[in-house]
Amino acid sequence: MFLLPFLAQAQEPGFGGYYIPKNVDEAIFHLSFTWPEDRQMVFKYKSEDKAIAEQHFFAGLDMRNHWRLWTGSPLADYFKAQGIYHPDDMSAIVLRSFHRNLNRKEIDLEGQFRFYREYWEFLEHDYSENEKRVARNFNSIQLADTVEMSFFIAATADGKTEILLSPPAEKPESGWENPSCKLSGVVLKKDQYGKTYKLYIKLTDICQLSEVYYGHEKLQTGSIMNFDLSFHNWKKAQ
């Protein structure tokens, strides 16, 4: 499937002065009309998955905000009618379709819709509530996102500063309150195998200290660590 022009529609204002497409065809044409040619070429010649991952926090974020995918719009309603309810999935479908259109490939919208519907159905039937929470958290975090996690902090007898995981990821309702240490970092890599979800994070702040110990591991600003989300409740920074 390739696009026919929607030039007049691409110039119509939507909510808040932003044009909001009504479907994927209009969204792709709008991007082809508004993105500079050099930006389109850079996007086109990257692999499909890499191009989409890199734009999740840039063009994808603009779509989710300006096209009201979180709060409701004609485009959001279009996706919901296809069984697509998460705004991250909506923006990913637009970006993937745009990339395929630039490369003169079949867009296969129905195949894309089916992938996300089957994914959420699989979570619903085959995962425990905690496993669903971990999987949703993993999918909400993208490469280059800033993430954070809270810990308790204490000084040990030998003078080291030690942190204690809080609250445990598997029991978010466990009653831990007011943890005194927050770690922040940037996501460099994501890995999934089965029900194991790992983030590779470059630490950018460790409780405003030069170093701390987590068990026997010394953590410093700039350290690259991998964390299993089943036990480490990292979240996107607010």
User: DSSP letters along 200-230, please?
Assistant: EEEEEEETTSSEEEETTEEEETT-EEEEETT
User: Is pLDDT larger for residue 193 or for residue 8?
Assistant: 193
Judge whether 131 and 170 are in contact, CB under 8 Å: no
Q: What is the mean pLDDT of the chain?
A: 83
84 and 20 together in one domain: yes
116 and 185 together in one domain: no
Q: Record the pTM.
A: 0.58
Q: pLDDT-derived band of residue 156, with 50, 70 and 90 as boundaries?
A: low
Q: How confident is the model over 211-232, as pLDDT tens digits? A: 888 777 888 899 998 999 988 8
147 and 115 together in one domain: no
Residue 168 covered by a domain:
yes
> How many separate domains does the chain show?
2
* Non-local CB neighbours of 161 within 8 Å, separated by 6+ positions: 153, 154, 155, 207, 209, 211, 212, 213
Judge whether 93 and 114 are in contact, CB under 8 Å: no
23 and 70 together in one domain: yes
Phi, psi of 228 (to 5 degrees): -85, 120
Q: How confident is the model over 106-147, as pLDDT tens digits? A: 999 999 999 999 888 887 788 888 888 898 888 888 888 899
CA–CA separation, 194 and 127 (whole Å): 11
Q: What confidence score (pLDDT) does residue 212 get?
A: 84
125, 157, 178 — which closes off a domain?
A: 125
CA–CA separation, 139 and 48 (whole Å): 18
Residue 188 covered by a domain:
yes
- In the predicted model, is pLDDT for residue 208 greater than 50? yes
107 and 182 together in one domain: no
Judge whether 18 and 71 are in contact, CB under 8 Å: no
Q: What confidence score (pLDDT) does residue 8 get?
A: 42
Q: How confident is the model over 39-58, as pLDDT tens digits? A: 999 999 999 999 998 998 88
Query: Domain of 12?
Result: 7-125
Q: What confidence score (pLDDT) does residue 179 get?
A: 63
